[in-house]
Structure 1
Amino acid sequence: MCKHVNWKRNGVQHHMVLEKKKAIDEIIKKASSVKDHLVSFPPFCHYERNGISVCLESGLGDQLASPVKKYIQNLLKVNMEGLYGPEWQMEEKVKRREMVSPEAHYIFVRQFTNTTSNENFSTKSEETTYPGQTGDRNRLVGFVHYRFIVEEDIPVVYVYELQLETCAQRKGLGKFLMQLIELIARKNHMGAVMLTVQKANVLAMNFYATKLRYIISNISPSRVDPL
């Protein structure tokens, strides 16, 4: 009799676990199906302060035009190759695969059309424009790559990349973009915003820990193996 009761209880618990998983999967599916998350946040589509003026646009990994792919690759190399050192060649291949995944959502940062700023945007990477658009008014100056995934049974927004050209850094833009990501997370019922930072990237470590007050996750490799 006891075994029978235990079996039924386990069955109920199993059913609850399945229901919870189903609900989380549905949240992820719904969030991932939205093509343009910026539509819900019109005030965040422009950023004009500290000497720069830019517009934000949404994009999807499996719909990137070749010039945009090349821009992403080049900016990643400029910003990350030195930090990875000899490991960059292998890491670059991984990032190129991640870049064009259907699950990859993007926020592109481009120079605002009617900018009155005197800032000259430039990068070591090759100049590019969006398809069908020409001129400096559409110059890319950075991007965010994020996805909706499940971590430790919690739906989260995972920021794969936040990359800005040197001229667009230290102007509050990075914080602005992360605030937007947090708004997107809340609107889509995510439990957290997560990202990975190399310990060698001291500036990024300070940015997330000190300026944004992010905390190290319990599943972080540094918690599992501090070395």
Structure 2
Amino acid sequence: MPVDSKKLVKKACQHIKPVEKFECETQRSTTTDGETIKFDYMWATHLSDEDFEWVFSLFKENMYDMYHKSQWGYDENSKRNELRATTSRFIIAKNSKGDKIGYTTYRFVVDHNIPVAYCWELQIVPAYQNKGIGGMMLDTLEKLSSKTNMSKVMATVFLYNGPSLGFFHKHGYNSDVTCPSDDSGLDYAILSKETPST
């Protein structure tokens, strides 16, 4: 019997606090250099203006040049709307002092008739990169994908973003069936990792 993807996604979207409800938070909370990290979970629409400006400034710091050289180009208003979409949810990482140091934003969506948790952005402040924090957030997202009966976690990455491609590959992500072919002329890859059924 085919899975009703729309129903599964609609059901997943209705959970107010899915990470807490399904106890999906990563068990890892310490960086590679021993600092304890904590996480907050919220809808994009619940971010304060101050928090949203921090989210956007970090995106811009990390990705401005990459978007400028991309085929998509850089459209600030479009990206702001995307990050604050009503369907977007955030996992925000904080260091031991309580300072925000990174985030991932994700959505439950139907992609090519399949229910997925889509990792829209994953951004870490430069001083905290390569310390395991992104992996902690992916771990939470993968558990959440499984608990909400999504088929996989997906992400779109620029082909020239070597560190990001390496990060996702390290965590078991491979080219999705929907990934553009090498001769497509497109400058991004679509990666995914199947989630085990609960």
Q: Please tell me the TM-score bracket, short chain as reference.
A: 0.7 to 0.9
- Rounded Cα–Cα distance in structure 2 between residues aligned with 1:45 and 1:55: 11
Q: Does residue 1:110 correspond to 2:94, yes or no?
A: yes
Match of 1:47 among 29, 34, 37: 29
* 1:121 alignment counterpart: none
Q: Does residue 1:143 correspond to 2:103, yes or no?
A: yes
* 1:64 alignment counterpart: 47
Match of 1:183 among 120, 131, 143: 143
SS in 2 for 1:138: coil
Worse overlay, 44-53 or 176-185? 44-53
SS in 2 for 1:49: coil
Match of 1:32 among 13, 18, 39: 13
Match of 2:77 among 82, 90, 93: 93
- Rounded Cα–Cα distance in structure 2 between residues aligned with 1:55 and 1:85: 33
Query: What amino acid sits opposite 2:149 in the alignment?
Result: H
Once the two structures are TM-superposed, the CA of residue 226 in structure 1 deviates from its matched residue by 4.2
Once the two structures are TM-superposed, the CA of residue 111 in structure 1 deviates from its matched residue by 2.1
Written as runs of structure 1 = structure 2, the 5 A alignment for 1:194-213 is 194-209=154-169, 211-213=170-172
- Could you say what the CA RMSD is over the residues aligned between the two structures, in angstroms? 2.2
Q: Percent identity?
A: 25
SS in 2 for 1:82: helix
Higher fraction of strand: 2
Q: Structure 1 unaligned segments of length 5 or more: list them.
A: 1-15, 113-136
Higher fraction of helix: 1
Pair member with larger Rg: 1
- Rounded Cα–Cα distance in structure 1 between residues aligned with 2:116 and 2:134: 19
Once the two structures are TM-superposed, the CA of residue 138 in structure 1 deviates from its matched residue by 2.9
> Does structure 1 retain, via aligned residues, the 8 Å contact 2:107–2:118?
yes
Aligned residues between the structures: 183
- Rounded Cα–Cα distance in structure 2 between residues aligned with 1:190 and 1:224: 30
* 1:163 alignment counterpart: 123
- Rounded Cα–Cα distance in structure 1 between residues aligned with 2:47 and 2:28: 22
- Rounded Cα–Cα distance in structure 2 between residues aligned with 1:144 and 1:157: 12
Query: What amino acid sits opposite 2:65 in the alignment?
Result: G
Q: Show CA shifts across 1:50-106 (max 9, x none).
A: 232211111111221100110011000110012223568733322211111110011
* 1:4 alignment counterpart: none
Q: Structure 2 unaligned segments of length 5 or more: list them.
A: 187-198
Decide whether aligned partners of structure 1 residues 63 and 86 sit closer, same or farther in structure 2, where only a CA change above 3 A counts.
same
> Does structure 1 retain, via aligned residues, the 8 Å contact 2:25–2:140?
no
> Does structure 2 retain, via aligned residues, the 8 Å contact 1:62–1:101?
yes
Larger relative contact order (C-alpha < 8 A, sep ≥ 6)?
2
TM-score, normalised by the number of residues in structure 1: 0.73
